[in-house]
Amino acid sequence: MIEIRDYSFKYGDRWILRNINLTVDRELIVITGKSGSGKSTLALSIAGFLRDTGFHTGEILFSSSNIDEVDLFELAQSIGMVQQDPEAQICTLNVEDEIAFGLENLCFSPEEVQQRIDWALSIVGGVHLKERETRSLSGGEKQKVAIASILAMKPEVIIFDEPTSNLDVETTKEIMRVITKIKGKANISALVIEHKWKHIYKYADHFYEMKDGTLVRIETPVDIHYTGYMREVGEPVLELKNVTFSYDDLILDGVNLTVRENEVVGIMGANGSGKTTLLMCIMNFLNYEGDILINNKSIRDKKTAEIAKDVGIVFQNPNHQIFENTVRKEACFAATNFSVERDITPLLADAGLQEYQERNPFRLSYGEKRRLNIVSVLSYDPAVILLDEPFIGQDYENVQKIMDLLKGKTCVMVLHDPFIAKAFCTRVFELRGGKLHEIKL
Amino acid sequence: MRSSFRLNSLTKFLTVAVYCVILFIVDDLVVLAGLFVIPFVMYVTRFRVSRFVMIFAVIIFGINAFFIEGDLSYKVEYALRIVLRFLGIVFSGMLFSREDPNEFAHALMNCGLPYRYGMTMVLTFRLIPLFSTESMMIKKAQMARGINLEGVSSLLNSVRYTFFPWIYSALERADALTLSMEGRCFGIYRKRTFRKQSVFSLFDYAWILFMAAALAGAGWWSL
């Protein structure tokens, strides 16, 4: 049992957590809240990872002893943690080794280890993954393996820190089912930190919201409503004609799509269905068959450098597309490369970044970095903007801010969240079997 | 069950090491050619040879034949020896690189390599492909933002603009991994158990004996 009594945590001069009181006892508890509200800090505090950082008052008790006084390794055996990015927490090369990792560290006998691997895999519904190499797994499968590897240690509590933010809708539901099963079948408490609470809410024993560092108990969560806007659709800007691409397998099988000026086209589909590949073809990063036209001109035989000014792209990971050492320079980076004269200040203001102009962009929050990426593309006003899962790890408010920034732009965006798609996209397609199928949400 | 005629990873490693030593002990051109043929045939029957290796071999041959003093047949023989050694090492090394790195690391740990080092090896093999895809993404992002990646000056630009995003992601990755590994008690005891034991079969011992004999034979013969 975990008991948090009047716990506050301060980092620098800022109180990140204020007077938290919470008990976790064989329950499924869901904590939601905005980015930066302190959810992850709470998770790390409970797992004991912040004991040497910052300053705190109050106490966190585990089985009646203060966790500050419990050995970290001992605590780790009772409180496990599953992180956001499944890729980042896997440290071995095959599934069984990964699940065995903790048990082997704890010097369990090979027989016991094997038994627990089988047990943990059966709970997460991953028995078929047993022989696989970790790098060949999909995002959802990786997350299942990560969960199994914690589960195998049979802790009393597992903390899930936004475990589905990198996953598509179906996989999200599946992981949520796994989490509820863990509580039911293995009798392990689950503390789930998640802003996609819709898929888990009904299973939760208690539901909380983190607001500026304080924890508020909620009976029924308020539904999210995005504010979309009307769009007058114009002439075709981007046309895909029979675009076909294969690595070893056929990924895109004759994709046809016309995107008109001012449209926002949403592309959905399971992880690995080829959504990113489609965007890479439009950027001419890949050698595809068929034809792609921008403003009625074929770009088939042009180099990426030649079309980059007309087609902007925002990649998945914001850190991979920040190149300068101040926010202002970064915002001007692409425009300077394309020799576009542009006053960047209003754009930075729209993105809520004007006060950080001289700051190092890597020190911005995740949401701010994402907006900076978008400003950097908006600065040279390309005809089409491609966005690859821009909403990963972004809360409701940040999503709204991103979409407000993109108002009046022609966009093709890969996304997972049907609520966002419904609010902002003029048309939504599912990429399935290498082809686009229009869907109504 | 593993077949008893499959060699342990460590035996394979030893084999490659001894093979390379023998390549340098032996001077006879015919024997060298015979030695070269073994890994070469094993490789080409299973994998595709990159053109780079062959071009490099031709260049080595050319340079050696050109700079060595002596009559033509001596020049050619000398250069051939160098090239056969070079290719022998390359092909045996490439064969070994196709082995499961996980098995090799586990075999080493079984033979007494402290698990911290062994698991670091495993982790390295886990991270290399991730870092390489990450670098590719960063490069693509640069191209999309109008950095021209052709020519020498642009190469410098690319390095400059790759460094910080790359370092930043690496640090983030290190953070997540530390949490993941410490959270699963990595480093709690001086020893750790292993689910699979990397076994040395009778065949392994016989093979090691054979390699030792081959090494001794080559040494004695070249004296």
Helices (H), B98-114: 101-110
- Please, are residues B9 and B21 in contact by the beta-carbon 8 Å criterion? no
A322 Cβ under 8 Å from any chain B Cβ: yes
pLDDT at A6: 95
Whether pLDDT at A56 is above 70: yes
Alpha helices by DSSP H, listed for A9-49, are: 39-46
Q: Which residue has the higher pLDDT, B200 or A129?
A: A129
Q: What is the domain class of A236-439 according to CATH?
A: alpha beta
In this predicted structure, the answer to whether residue A207 has a pLDDT above a threshold of 90 is yes
Q: What is chain A's length?
A: 441
pLDDT at residue B4 in the model: 58
User: Are B146 and A337 inside 8 Å of each other by CB?
Assistant: yes
Residue of chain A with shortest Cα separation from B143? A305
Strands A250-260, A411-414: pairing kind: unpaired
Q: What is the DSSP letter of B47?
A: S
What are the residues whose beta carbons fall under 8 Å from the beta carbon of B66, sequence distance 6 or more? none
DSSP conformation letters of B173-195: HHHHHHHHHHTTTTTSSS----S
| pLDDT for res B64 | 87
Q: Which of 80-139 (A) contact B at CB < 8 A?
A: 80-81, 83, 85, 87-94, 96-97, 100-110, 113-114, 117, 134-135
- Mind listing the pLDDT tens digit for each residue in A298-339? 998 888 888 999 999 999 989 999 999 999 999 999 999 899
Judging contacts by C-beta atoms under 8 Å, the chain B residues touching residue A106 are 185, 188-189, 192
Alpha helices in A152-219, H assignment, sequence order? 169-186
Distance of CA B174 to the CA centre of its chain: 25
Whether residue B193 and residue A108 make contact (CB cut-off 8 A), yes or no, is: yes
Amino acid at B167: I
Determine, for residues A76 and B182 on separate chains, whether the beta-carbon distance falls below 8 Å.
yes
What residues of chain A lie within 8 A of the CB of B184, using their CB?
76, 80, 101-102, 105, 149-150, 153
C-alpha A334, offset from chain centre? 25
Quick one: DSSP state of residue A161?
Answer: E
In terms of Cβ atoms closer than 10 Å to its own Cβ (0-12, 13-18, 19+), residue A290 is middle
CA B107 to chain centre: 16
Domain with CATH 3.40.50.300 in chain A: 2-217, 236-439
What are the backbone angles phi and psi of residue A3, rounded to the nearest 5°? Answer: -125, 120
Choose among B145, B173, B183: nearest Cβ to A76: B183
Residues 6+ positions from A409 with CB-CB distance below 8 Å: A262, A264, A378, A385
Range 330-369 of A in CB contact (< 8 A) with B: 333-334, 337-338, 362
B120: amino acid identity, one letter: T
Q: Which of B101, B172, B197 is nearest residue A319 as measured by Cβ atoms?
A: B172
Residues of chain B scoring pLDDT < 70: 1-4
At B67 the pLDDT is 86
Kindly state whether A426 is in contact with chain B, defined as any CB-CB distance less than 8 angstroms.
Answer: no
ipTM: 0.87
Q: How far is B28 from chain A (nearest CA, A)?
A: 43
Chain B CB contacts of A103 below 8 Å: 193
* For helices A139-151 and A110-124, angle between their N-to-C axes, nearest 10 degrees: 130
In angstroms, the separation between the Cα of residue B188 and the nearest Cα of chain A is 7
d(CA B146, CA A338): 6
| pLDDT higher than 90, residue A150 | yes
Q: Is A388 on the interface with B (CB under 8 A)?
A: no
Measured in angstroms, the CA of B174 and the nearest CA of chain A are apart by: 8
The first and second tokens of residue A281, run together, are: 């073809």
3-state secondary structure of A311: strand
CB contacts of B181 in chain A (<8 Å) are 91, 101
* Terminal Cα-to-Cα distance of chain A (whole angstroms): 42
Tell me, yes or no, if A305 comes closer than 8 A to chain B by beta carbon: yes
pLDDT at A22: 95
Q: Give the Cα separation of B5 and B12 in Å (integer).
A: 12
Tell if the CB–CB gap between B145 and A325 is shorter than 8 Å.
no
- The shortest C-alpha distance from A47 to chain B (Å) reads 8
Could you please report the per-residue DSSP string of A20-31? EEEEESS-EEEE
Q: Domain residue spans in chain B?
A: 9-99+198-222, 114-182
The residues near B159 (Cβ < 8 Å, ≥ 6 apart) are none
Q: Which of B122, B185, B195 sits opposite A106 (nearest CB)?
A: B185
3-class SS at A192?
Answer: strand
Residue B136, Cβ neighbours under 10 Å: how many?
Answer: 12
Select from A47, A88, A104 the Cβ nearest to the Cβ of B173. Answer: A88
Could you tell me what percent of chain A has a pLDDT over 90?
72
Q: How far apart (Å, rounded) are the C-alpha atoms in residues A294 and A311? A: 9
Q: Which fold has domain A2-217?
A: Rossmann fold (3.40.50)
pLDDT in tens, A387-424: 999 998 888 888 999 999 999 999 999 998 888 999 99
Closest chain B residue by Cα to residue A280: B140
- Would you state the structure tokens that stand for residue B183, as one six-digit string? 């959270």
Q: According to the per-residue pLDDT averaged within each range, which of A45-54, A238-247, A389-398 is highest? A: A238-247
